[in-house]
Amino acid sequence: MNADSQAFFVEMNGRLFVVDTCVGNEKEVLGFDGFTNLNLPFLDAIEKAGFDRHKVTDVICTHLHFDHVGWNTYKENGEWKPTFPNAKYHFAREEYEYWEKDGFKNHVLGPLENVSFHESIDPVVEAGLVNLVEMDADLGDGISFKPSPGHSKGHVNVHFNAGDETFIIAGDMCHHPCQVAQTDWAAIIDYDQKESSATRRKILGELSGSDTLVTCTHFCSPSFGHIKGNETEGFVFKTVDKTK
């Protein structure tokens, strides 16, 4: 299996954010052999990129599926430890409570998510690092959540307003840019496929024609772009490569 899953590091207003934390190493991902027991040089890569994991101030997970929470923790001497021990981990309360109350029993990913919580969520809760917030939370300094439910119950987009530039990390609102053009194409594991399609139509409509950059966690690089077009003729995702 080959799939892109990104963790985004953002430095803004004296804070260092990590948005979504991929699958992680040594995790047990029930039913997904290609993601189980990974051993990838993620920690080396962030160090080489010039980031100190101890200086991360905020970790945000757009939702709590296993492929967005993995590097919340790493295994040391057989125990799961917070990868970013000095950060606050911000999760939408709606999302967290859904899994705890219903999701493990009723969602198709329930058994997998139960293990994922044990490995990647519970240790940061027990370390007192988790901040459960509303789906439209203001995290200060121009960073806020906006609700984008459908793929999961409490899915949120993360908005960064840097003054002269605004960008959005939209998690799994779309898994692939083809869903920008075809907003009704929904993922089989969506919590509510009608709602995920409605969310795409609404948010893409709001973004179309604006200067706001947007990406989703599984888009391949260059993964940021602008939204053009309209619902009738179809939305278009125009990538912007800032490395050039």
Which amino acid would we find at residue 33?
A: D
Considering beta carbons, is residue 64 or 137 the nearer one to Zn ion? 64
How would DSSP label each residue in 99-138? IIIIIHHHSTTHHHHHHHIIIIIHHHHHTT-EEEE-TT-E
The label of the residue with tokens 């950059």 reads 213
Which amino acid would we find at residue 215?
A: T
Among the candidate windows 30-38, 125-133, 138-146, 170-178, which touches Zn ion by CB under 5 A? 170-178
* Residue 119 binds Zn ion (CB under 5 A): no
Distance CA 65, CA 31 (A): 14
Site string for Zn ion, 61-90 (x = CB under 5 A): ------x-----------------------
Considering beta carbons, is residue 67 or 113 the nearer one to Zn ion? 67
- Cα dihedral sign for 187, 191, 194, 200? negative
Whole-number minimum distance, CB 151 to Zn ion, in Å? 8
* Residue 58 binds Zn ion (CB under 5 A): no
Whole-number minimum distance, CB 168 to Zn ion, in Å? 16
Whole-number minimum distance, CB 217 to Zn ion, in Å? 6
* Residue 172 binds Zn ion (CB under 5 A): yes
* Residue 20 binds Zn ion (CB under 5 A): no
Q: Is the bond into 222 cis (omega within 30 degrees of 0)?
A: yes
